[in-house]
Structure formats: structure tokens, C-alpha cells
Amino acid sequence: MARILHSRDVVVACVLTVVLVVSVVAVFMSASTVASLLFLVIGILAFTGLGMIARRRLSRGRAPIAVVVALVDLVACGAVLIGVMADSALFHPNQNQSAYQILVADPTMEQVRIAHGHDTYTGWFVHNTDGTAPLVIGFLGNGECAASRVERDESAGLWPTYAGYNYMVIDYPGYGTSSGHPSQDSIFSMAVAAYDYAVARADVDPTRVVVEGYSLGTGPATYLASQRDVAGLVLIAPYDSGVSLYNSQVNIFHGPLTLLVGFRADSKTYAESVRVAPLIVTSTADTLIDHTLSEHLATHFPIAAHLHVLSGLTHNQYLTDPEVLDLIHGYLQDVAM
């Protein structure tokens, strides 16, 4: 009888271990908040079951299997903790209510709502010129929301940088008033939906849409440029992959730990399918996204990138720096010709 119980414990422990590992991976790979929570609950139940088996084996003097089960529990808990910390460091959903109210009262600012499946993405369309015109679609950094970016650029008088272009920026899922949860799949899906919405507008010239990304936003920007016909691509402080981006926040994702990276955003692979010469701006003083990641990404575009490695600019200074703004303006004017 004892042998039967021992065999049963081994089988159950193996099954629960597989369930636990699959649940941990699914939590970080799922684009749905509901699905992530469901897998988390399943993982907790599996973890609890393994703990019960370990305690029972210890009480019966079966230390070896109890130790193995305990180690599996420890590794799984560590994986969950590391993954949660990484996502917390990467995504910072927020909304700037005061900026939002200012934009609502401005007639040159149009609030955009894009229905996509069960989600609704929201953002702003800046009417910076008249008639049917070229458009820049902007993708933001991880701590920005659309209202903050647009209101800041309006207050700083930065729209001449985009002379002759209208400008649109949509909040990532979970940011601003967009529904959903930020993940690679949801953000990339939003990016494509934003482009498809934009080119269907009467005031947008679909042959002259330029995609712009800053920091985190360079991943979805590069992905979008690989999936749709764009007239240009502007990348400010880009990274070559999501693994590199995670490591710029918490430098532990190497070897097997790369499996815990949910936002993989392999920009260097997407770059190989981009059919325009991008503008890439980076800085040797950027301590968040090292300039070497931007330089490495630049080598993967089939058409040589316009790479500018500046000095003295920290990560949060790019978008208000006169030299960077001049580079963006010059690139946009060349594209519009």
C-alpha cells in the first residue's frame, strides 16, 4: 500500500510540476488580463498541491522526493517573482487627467477612438495642417500617455517640427483611456489597428505615413513598418530586442531566464522586412538604452539607416533637444518631397 501511495505521489507531483511551469510561462505570454489571471490561479493551485505532497513525504520520512518538490516550488516562485518585477519595471500605465482636460478644450485636438475586437484604443489626432496631408503616427515611451505627450508638445511649441504633417498618437492598452493590458501582442495589435484606422481617414495621405517611436515605442514602430507600407520610420533611442530592453532595466535575463521575457519585441528581425531607410537617433550618455543597442539595430535594415550617435543627451532629453528636433524635421521634409 505504501508503494502505491509513493508511486501516486510521484505521478501527481510530476503532473503538478508540468502544470505549474506551463502556468508560469502562460502568465507572461498571454495578451489577455483574464487569461493571465486564470493561469495565475491554476499555477497557485498547482503550487499548493506540490507543497502538500512535500509536507506529506517529509512526515513519512521520504526526504528525497520532498526535497525535489520543494526545489521545484522554489524555482517556480522565483520565476514568477522575477517575471512580475520585470513587467513592473517595463510597463507603467498612467493617465494625465489635467492634460486630458486641456486637450478636450482645444479645437485643434481631436480625440480618437479605435474599436478593435473587444478593446477600444484611444488617443489624439493633432490637426497641424490643412486638407489631406501626410501623417506621423507616434509610439510612446513606457512612462508616457498620449495626453501628456501631446499637451507637452503643444505647450512647448514643438509642432513646427512636424510642419506639413498631422500627428496621431494612440495610448497602449491599459494606458490613458485605452482598454486592455499592455503586452507584446496587445501593443503590436494596437499599432496595426492604429495604422489601418489612419489610412482610412479622408485627411490622411495613405502614401505618406511616417511611423515614429521613442524608447519602448521603437519596438511597435519597427514592427508596424515591417507589416505595412510606410513612407518613413523615425526611431529615437531604439533597442534591438525586448530581451535587451528588459536587461537595461534588470540585467538578469540571460540563458534560461530569457524565457521569462514577455515583451520579446525582436526589432532586429522586424528591421529586415522594412522597406525604407530609417532615421535612428541615440546618445552615448543614454544610460537606460545603451547606444550600442541602437547601433546594432541599425545594421539590420536592408536600406542603410540614417544613424546619428549624439553625445551628452540623457534618455529623457531626446524629444525636447533642438538637434534631435532638427533631425526629425529634416527627415520628414525629405520624405514629403
pLDDT at position 136 over 80: yes
Where residue 3 falls among pLDDT bands split at 50, 70, 90? very low
Task: Output phi, psi for 246, to 5 deg.
Answer: -60, -45
pLDDT at position 4 over 50: no
Q: What is the mean pLDDT of residues 23-41?
A: 58
Q: What percent of the chain has pLDDT over 90?
A: 64
| Max Cα distance, the chain (Å) | 84
> Cβ–Cβ contacts within 10 Å for residue 49, how many?
18
- Residue 2: predicted pLDDT: 43
CA distance 276 to 229: 9
In angstroms, what CA-CA distances link 70 with 18, 52, 172, 188? 14, 10, 39, 38
- Residue 32: predicted pLDDT: 52
Look over the chain and give the mean of its residue pLDDT values, rounded to a whole number: 85
Name 307's bridge partners.
280
For 280-322, write each residue's pLDDT tens digit.
Answer: 999 999 999 999 999 999 999 999 999 999 999 999 999 999 9
Which grid cell is 157?
Answer: 511649441
- Residue 23: predicted pLDDT: 65
pLDDT at position 123 over 80: yes
Where residue 337 falls among pLDDT bands split at 50, 70, 90? confident
Where residue 52 falls among pLDDT bands split at 50, 70, 90? confident
Where residue 1 falls among pLDDT bands split at 50, 70, 90? very low
Q: What is the pTM of this model?
A: 0.79
Q: Under a CB-based contact definition with an 8 Å cutoff, are residues 249 and 89 in contact?
A: yes
For 210-267, write each residue's pLDDT tens digit.
Answer: 999 999 999 999 999 999 999 999 999 999 998 988 887 778 778 877 777 778 899 9
pLDDT at position 177 over 80: yes
Where residue 31 falls among pLDDT bands split at 50, 70, 90? very low
Q: Which residues contact 60 (CB under 8 A, 6 or more apart)?
A: none
Q: Which of 12-26, 50-64, 246-260, 282-296 has the lowest mean pLDDT?
A: 50-64
CA distance 90 to 181: 13
Which domains are seen in the chain, by residue range? Answer: 2-90 (no CATH), 97-336 (3.40.50.1820)
**Alpha carbon 248 to chain centroid, angstroms:** 14
Where residue 331 falls among pLDDT bands split at 50, 70, 90? very high
- Residue 130: predicted pLDDT: 93
- Residue 289: predicted pLDDT: 94
Name 137's bridge partners.
168, 211
Q: What is the mean pLDDT of residues 111-119?
A: 95
Q: What percent of the chain has pLDDT over 70?
A: 76
pLDDT at position 84 over 60: no
Q: Under a CB-based contact definition with an 8 Å cutoff, are residues 205 and 133 in contact?
A: yes
- Residue 10: predicted pLDDT: 63
Q: Which residues contact 325 (CB under 8 A, 6 or more apart)?
A: 158, 161, 319
Task: Output phi, psi for 134, to 5 deg.
Answer: -60, 160
